[in-house]
Amino acid sequence: MRIDLHTHSDRSDGTDTPAELVRKAREVAGLDVVALTDHDATTGWDEARAAADEVGVRFVPGIEISTQLRGESVHLLGYAFDPDHPPLVEELRRVLDGRDQRLPRMLERLAEHGVDITLDDVAAQSGSAAASGRPHVADAMVARGYLRHRDEAFDGWLNSGGRAYVSRYAAPLLDAVRLLKEAGGRAVVAHPWSRGSDRVLTPETFERLRDAGLDGIEVDHVDHGEEVRRTLRGIAADLDLVVTGSSDYHGTGKSAAFALGANLTAPEQLERLLG
């Protein structure tokens, strides 16, 4: 059984439509189970579910929520929740609006450094996405010939501390866990110790999150080396949390290290998570 629980379509910052992604999951990556976890959006679920029925793959509806803990960014995966639960919808709206609202300031900063990108340029890149994020600004810089690839924008321009970086709203982590649980879903911390991020998620914090309803930790992720994976697996075992593994696929928006199925979740862990 090949199970991948973290992927992005063009409803956020991936490059495949939800249907294309699901078809590739089955036909290219040979997955048996695939979750769609667009950033702060569930707008791809229906299309992905229909494609999954067609190609014969199990579809898990999901999301990756942009949260923060003590000012540090933490990504929270949610699965199989009610996408219409009003308090959750409201909080996701706040995150998506925050992303759109900071755009003019980001473009001003870029202009101060001689990079001329318009809101229309960004909109052309975000297409059917629920909001325009930094990856779409990066894509606009590429389209206008300032850079060769999206990744280059995260090296001095749009990364935290970069020349054109502007922060935005993120949901308080504990609130986001509670909202997902209230909505009948499961909550898993995404790539908790990914490269370049501060390790605000200590074992004590994981314990508090577990007590608030957290179900699991994404351990097997391309951003985690062997040592990190061992340590996180130990924390998950101590706290009786589910361990997941996933690709964090973004289509051509990220390198081949993020290919569908590049990291997988064990069947017994999926069973514990979703039954």
Residues that bind Zn ion (CB under 5 A): 13
Q: Does position 221 bind ligand AMP by CB under 6 A?
A: no
Instruction: Choose from Zn ion, Fe ion, ligand AMP, none: what does 66 bind? Cβ within 5-8 Å by kind.
Output: ligand AMP
Contact between 132 and 99 (Cβ < 8 Å): yes
Nearest residue to ligand AMP, scored by beta-carbon proximity: 133
Q: According to CB under 6 A, which one of 133, 185, 192, 251 is a site residue for ligand AMP?
A: 133
Q: Does position 125 bind ligand AMP by CB under 6 A?
A: no
Give the bridge partners for 75, in sequence order: 66
| Chain CA centroid to CA 158, Å | 17
Return the number of the residue (66 or 244) whose C-beta is nearest ligand AMP: 66
Rounded to the nearest 5 degrees, what angle is found at the Cα of 75, between the Cα atoms of 171 and 43? 80
CB of 192 to ligand AMP, least distance (A): 15
The contacts of residue 30 (CB under 8 Å, 6+ apart) are: 2, 261
Q: Does position 82 bind ligand AMP by CB under 6 A?
A: no
Nearest to 190 by CA among 14, 64, 33, 39: 64
CB of 38 to Zn ion, least distance (A): 8
State which of positions 99-118 bind ligand AMP (CB under 6 A).
Answer: 99
CB of 65 to ligand AMP, least distance (A): 11
Q: According to CB under 6 A, which one of 135, 185, 192, 245 is a site residue for ligand AMP?
A: 135
- For residue 249, what is the DSSP state? B
Q: According to CB under 6 A, which one of 85, 100, 123, 154 is a site residue for ligand AMP?
A: 154
Phi and psi at 161, nearest 5°, equal 90, -5
Supply the angle between the helices 119-126 and 103-112 in degrees, to the nearest 10: 120
Q: Does position 248 bind Fe ion by CB under 5 A?
A: yes
| Chain CA centroid to CA 35, Å | 11
Q: Where does this chain bind ligand AMP (CB under 6 A)? A: 13, 39, 66, 99, 133-135, 151, 154, 159
